[in-house]
């Protein structure tokens, strides 16, 4: 009997009135399409009012509420108060802005409610296909391992877990690492904090991650790396991994992967790459040469949800040695044995390639996004983002009252307003004030950082909606607010 024809009590949690639910769903789609089309008419950010925060802390009603009532609340209390990363003038942190096709595929995935731990189902094949595309894009061999994860933070945990497994000859899973020579790893002083977190989570401790200074080009200094490895060996430690960064969070800097590969080989180190957003440069013929050597690394962590615009969340790790990847995580009990055919077949299962058993269908939004735009258009979008960064860099350099804090690399610009008579501390205060005004007036959302110890306005353009007019508007607003605030803040 079709679900819709069953007597009411058997309908479980499905709607009592399917047609009313259909009407609400259509309305929601219309509302969200309009919302996306009209993002530019809205402020880039607005503060959550107190009454909304209060409404969002009310206790759960045990009796349940109608879909219409909850949807009305969503429109009033949730939708207007996003961080703003779908807005063309959102430039903060490293946030992707999503796409309509990504949103639609999120609905389809949620409706299917697939669990991609494994087993025989098309959604698993979709994830495998997405991973094959990623392998091809980055030059990883067939047979290399891979899995989609929530983001680069988790992808780095998985990549380094495989490195730890290799370094301990597979003993880590049973014995832990406490009775072995200390495993130590290396990364640049510009690396993201997710790498230290991975060391913490893997029981290695963040002290075991040595921060190597950058060289004149801003990449991890290979000579200092080799010296640190030798010192650690001499001290009885076990150097096991180096984590390179392509696209550093603060300034967009790149490590030289070819050189680091040679150093890693000389010292038997695993080479993991954090390519959270910078790996997307691979799609651009103009910028791909920066990533030379990416096809030779041991593991690569990157995000689809940043510069590749897949809606949150969608990260990925690729592991050159697929067998080692599996050996690091494989674990089955009776209730998870697979069969030769039927729903319990379909090996290999993704639960053997990461820490999670139940896994959502995030592959579908990646599949829709890559198929719809194609690598060429996504590559052009990456180049357009970099063009906007170059435009902002040039404008900053042309304005006496603005100052670049670091060379513009790819899509990241760090700059500040300057007032000739102000002390460094006063300039920090002034620029912090400008940042907050830009946010609170809803004009634009750069994020705060420090470059060379000084406060900077950081613009990271991972936003396919950003055009030259948005860049110009940011520069104008910074100048106008800077002039206004420098008269108010004591500089
Ligand atoms: C260079 C870099 N690495 C790692 C991460 C962490 O990625 P995720 O937020 O996807 O976990 C980020 C996030 O911005 C990043 O910029």
Residue 235 and residue 89 in one domain: no
Say how many Å lie between the CA of residue 490 and the centre of ligand 1.
Answer: 36
Report the pLDDT value the prediction gives residue 489, as an integer from 0 to 100: 54
Mean pLDDT, rounded, for 369-397: 98
- Of 232-236, 371-375, 418-422, the poorest mean pLDDT is in 418-422
Give yes or no for residue 187 CB within 6 A of ligand 1: no
User: Is a pLDDT exceeding 90 seen at residue 4?
Assistant: no
Q: At what angle do helices 362-398 and 100-112 cross, to 10 degrees?
A: 160
CATH label of the domain that carries residue 118: 3.40.640.10
| 334, burial (CB in 10 Å: exposed 0-12, middle 13-18, buried 19+) | exposed
Pairing relationship of beta strands 299-303 and 315-319 according to DSSP bridges:
antiparallel
Report the pLDDT value the prediction gives residue 217, as an integer from 0 to 100: 83
* CA neighbours closer than 13 Å in the CB half-sphere of residue 205: 8
Residue 342 and residue 436 in one domain: no
279 CB-near residues (< 8 Å, 6+ apart): 138, 246, 247, 273, 291, 294, 300, 302
What residue owns the CA closest to ligand 1's atom 13?
A: 94
Residue 235 and residue 283 in one domain: yes
Report the pLDDT value the prediction gives residue 449, as an integer from 0 to 100: 97
> Are the C-beta atoms of 32 and 432 separated by less than 8 Å?
no
Q: What are phi and psi of 186, to 5 degrees?
A: -140, 140
Give yes or no for residue 252 CB within 6 A of ligand 1: no
Say how many Å lie between the CA of residue 50 and the centre of ligand 1.
Answer: 31
Residue 419 and residue 473 in one domain: yes
- Cα-based angle 62, 26, 102 (whole degrees, multiple of 5): 95
Q: Categorize the per-residue pLDDT at 10 as very low, low, confident or very high, splitting at 50, 70 and 90.
A: low
CATH label of the domain that carries residue 411: 3.90.1150.170
Question: Measuring CA to CA, which residue among 124, 105, 106 is closest to residue 351?
Answer: 124
- Of 1-10, 179-188, 246-255, 372-381, the poorest mean pLDDT is in 1-10
Report the pLDDT value the prediction gives residue 169, as an integer from 0 to 100: 97
| 341, burial (CB in 10 Å: exposed 0-12, middle 13-18, buried 19+) | exposed
Any bridge partners for residue 186, and if so which?
210, 242
Residue 319 and residue 387 in one domain: no
Mean pLDDT, rounded, for 285-310: 98
* CA neighbours closer than 13 Å in the CB half-sphere of residue 180: 21
pLDDT in tens, 436-455: 999 999 999 999 999 999 99
Give the percent of the chain with pLDDT over 90.
94
Mean pLDDT, rounded, for 129-156: 98
Residue 402 and residue 328 in one domain: no
Question: Measuring CA to CA, which residue among 123, 34, 57, 54 is closest to residue 367?
Answer: 123
Counting the structural domains of the chain, the total is: 2
Give yes or no for residue 192 CB within 6 A of ligand 1: yes
Report the pLDDT value the prediction gives residue 3, as an integer from 0 to 100: 59
Q: Which two tokens stand for residue 310?
A: 């897949």
> Are the C-beta atoms of 186 and 227 separated by less than 8 Å?
no
Mean pLDDT, rounded, for 247-253: 93
Report the pLDDT value the prediction gives residue 454, as an integer from 0 to 100: 97
Residue 181 and residue 248 in one domain: yes
Mean pLDDT, rounded, for 289-311: 98
Say how many Å lie between the CA of residue 215 and the centre of ligand 1.
Answer: 22
Residue 345 and residue 389 in one domain: no
The answer to whether residue 200 sits within a structural domain is yes
Rounded CA-CA distance 104/107 in Å is: 5
Mean pLDDT, rounded, for 118-131: 98
Residue 341 and residue 393 in one domain: no
pLDDT in tens, 46-59: 999 999 999 999 99
Q: What are phi and psi of 479, to 5 degrees?
A: -65, -45
Report the pLDDT value the prediction gives residue 487, as an integer from 0 to 100: 77
Question: Measuring CA to CA, which residue among 79, 30, 39, 45 is closest to residue 467?
Answer: 39
Name the E strands within 53-135: none
Residue 91 and residue 214 in one domain: no
The answer to whether residue 51 sits within a structural domain is no
**180-192 CB burial, b ≥16 within 10 A, e <16:** ebbbbbbbbebbb
pLDDT in tens, 323-375: 999 999 999 999 999 999 999 999 999 999 999 999 999 999 999 999 999 99
User: Is a pLDDT exceeding 70 seen at residue 5?
Assistant: no
Say how many Å lie between the CA of residue 208 and the centre of ligand 1.
Answer: 20
Question: Measuring CA to CA, which residue among 220, 319, 335 is closest to residue 270?
Answer: 319
Give yes or no for residue 151 CB within 6 A of ligand 1: yes
Q: What is the DSSP string of 289-340?
A: GGGTTGGG-SEEEEESSSTT-PPS--EEEEES-HHHHHHHH----GGG---S
The answer to whether residue 473 sits within a structural domain is yes
HEC sequence for 19-61: HHHHHHHHHHHHHHHHHHHCHHHCCCCCCCCHHHHHHCCCCCC
pLDDT in tens, 21-38: 999 999 999 999 999 999
Distance of CA 309 to the CA centre of its chain: 10
Give yes or no for residue 249 CB within 6 A of ligand 1: yes
Report the pLDDT value the prediction gives residue 216, as an integer from 0 to 100: 84
Return the residue matching tokens 């929530």.
150
Rounded CA-CA distance 359/348 in Å is: 15
User: Is a pLDDT exceeding 70 seen at residue 161?
Assistant: yes
Residue 341 and residue 381 in one domain: no
Residue 165 and residue 91 in one domain: no
> Of 360, 385, 402, at which residue does a domain stop?
360
User: Is a pLDDT exceeding 70 seen at residue 104?
Assistant: yes
Give yes or no for residue 194 CB within 6 A of ligand 1: yes
Mutate to test the pocket of ligand 1, among 85, 94, 247 (most ligand atoms within 8 A of CB): 94
Mean pLDDT, rounded, for 232-253: 96
The answer to whether residue 314 sits within a structural domain is yes
Atom of ligand 1 nearest to the CA of 94: 14
Report the pLDDT value the prediction gives residue 218, as an integer from 0 to 100: 86
Domain that residue 457 falls in: 18-45+83-98+377-491
Q: Categorize the per-residue pLDDT at 318 as very low, low, confident or very high, splitting at 50, 70 and 90.
A: very high
Q: Hey, how many other C-beta atoms are within 10 angstroms of the C-beta on 302?
A: 29
3-state secondary structure (DSSP) of residue 281: helix
The answer to whether residue 126 sits within a structural domain is yes
Pairing relationship of beta strands 238-245 and 209-212 according to DSSP bridges:
unpaired
Rounded CA-CA distance 165/182 in Å is: 14
The answer to whether residue 209 sits within a structural domain is yes
Give yes or no for residue 188 CB within 6 A of ligand 1: no
Report the pLDDT value the prediction gives residue 11, as an integer from 0 to 100: 66
Mean pLDDT, rounded, for 106-112: 98
User: Is a pLDDT exceeding 90 seen at residue 100?
Assistant: yes
The answer to whether residue 368 sits within a structural domain is no
Q: Which two tokens stand for residue 286?
A: 């103009």
The answer to whether residue 59 sits within a structural domain is no
User: Is a pLDDT exceeding 70 seen at residue 173?
Assistant: yes
Q: Say whether the peptide bond before residue 274 is cis (omega within 30 degrees of 0).
A: no
Report the pLDDT value the prediction gives residue 112, as an integer from 0 to 100: 98
Question: Measuring CA to CA, which residue among 161, 182, 168 is closest to residue 233?
Answer: 182
Q: Categorize the per-residue pLDDT at 268 as very low, low, confident or very high, splitting at 50, 70 and 90.
A: very high
Give the percent of the chain with pLDDT over 70.
97
Question: Measuring CA to CA, which residue among 440, 435, 476 is closest to residue 456?
Answer: 435
Report the pLDDT value the prediction gives residue 1, as an integer from 0 to 100: 55
Q: How does the average pLDDT of the chain come out, rounded? A: 96
Any bridge partners for residue 458, and if so which?
414, 447
Q: What is the DSSP string of 363-416?
A: HHHHHHHHHHHHHHHHHHHHHHHHHHHHHHHHHHHH-TTEEESS--BTTEEEEE
> Of 360, 395, 419, at which residue does a domain stop?
360
> Are the C-beta atoms of 411 and 491 separated by less than 8 Å?
no
Any bridge partners for residue 413, and if so which?
459
- Of 6-10, 278-282, 394-398, the poorest mean pLDDT is in 6-10
Say how many Å lie between the CA of residue 455 and the centre of ligand 1.
Answer: 21
Give yes or no for residue 153 CB within 6 A of ligand 1: yes
């Amino acid at each position: 009997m079709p679900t819709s024809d069953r007597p009411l009590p058997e309908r479980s949690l499905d709607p009592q009135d399917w047609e009313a639910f259909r009407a609400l769903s259509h309305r929601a789609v219309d509302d969200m399409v309009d919302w996306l089309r009209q993002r530019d008419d809205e402020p880039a950010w607005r503060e959550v009012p107190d009454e909304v925060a209060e409404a969002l802390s009310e206790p759960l009603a045990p009796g349940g509420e109608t879909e219409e009532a909850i949807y009305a609340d969503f429109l009033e209390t949730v939708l207007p108060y996003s961080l703003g990363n779908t807005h063309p003038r959102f430039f903060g942190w490293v946030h992707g802005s999503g796409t309509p096709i990504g949103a639609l595929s999120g609905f389809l995935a949620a409706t299917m409610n697939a669990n991609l731990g494994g087993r025989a189902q098309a959604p698993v094949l979709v994830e495998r296909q997405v991973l094959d595309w990623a392998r091809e894009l980055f030059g990883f061999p067939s047979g290399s391992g891979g899995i989609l994860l929530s983001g680069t933070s988790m992808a780095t945990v998985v990549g380094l877990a495989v490195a730890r497994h290799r370094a301990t000859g597979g003993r880590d899973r049973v014995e832990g690492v406490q009775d072995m020579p200390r495993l130590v790893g290396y990364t640049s002083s510009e690396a993201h904090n997710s790498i230290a977190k991975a060391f913490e989570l893997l029981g290695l401790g963040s002290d075991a991650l040595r921060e190597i200074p950058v060289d004149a080009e801003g990449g991890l200094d290979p000579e200092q790396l080799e010296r640190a490895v030798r010192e650690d060996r001499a001290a009885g430690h076990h150097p096991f991994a180096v984590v390179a960064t392509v696209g550093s969070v603060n300034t967009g800097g790149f490590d030289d992967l070819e050189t680091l590969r040679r150093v890693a080989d000389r010292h038997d180190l695993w080479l993991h790459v954090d390519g959270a957003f910078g790996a997307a440069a691979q799609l651009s013929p103009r910028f791909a040469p920066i990533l030379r050597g990416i096809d030779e690394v041991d593991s690569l962590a990157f995000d689809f949800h940043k510069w590749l615009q897949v809606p949150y969340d969608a990260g990925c790790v690729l592991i050159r040695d697929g067998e080692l990847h599996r050996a690091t995580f494989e674990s089955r009990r009776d209730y998870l044995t697979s069969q030769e055919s039927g729903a319990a077949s379909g090996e290999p299962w993704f639960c053997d390639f990461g820490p999670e058993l139940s896994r959502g269908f995030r592959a579908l939004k990646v599949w829709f996004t890559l198929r719809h735009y194609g690598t060429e258009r996504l590559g052009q979008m990456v180049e357009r983002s970099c063009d906007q960064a170059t435009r902002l860099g040039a404008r900053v350099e042309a304005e006496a009252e603005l100052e670049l804090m670091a060379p513009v690399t790819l899509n990241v610009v760090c700059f500040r307003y300057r007032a000739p008579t102000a002390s460094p501390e006063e300039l920090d205060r002034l620029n912090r004030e400008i940042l907050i005004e830009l946010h609170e007036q809803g004009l634009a959302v750069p994020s705060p950082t420090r470059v060379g110890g000084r406060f900077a306005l950081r613009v990271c353009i991972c936003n396919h909606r950003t055009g030259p007019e948005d860049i110009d508007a940011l520069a104008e607003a910074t100048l106008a607010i800077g002039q206004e605030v420098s008269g108010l803040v004591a500089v």
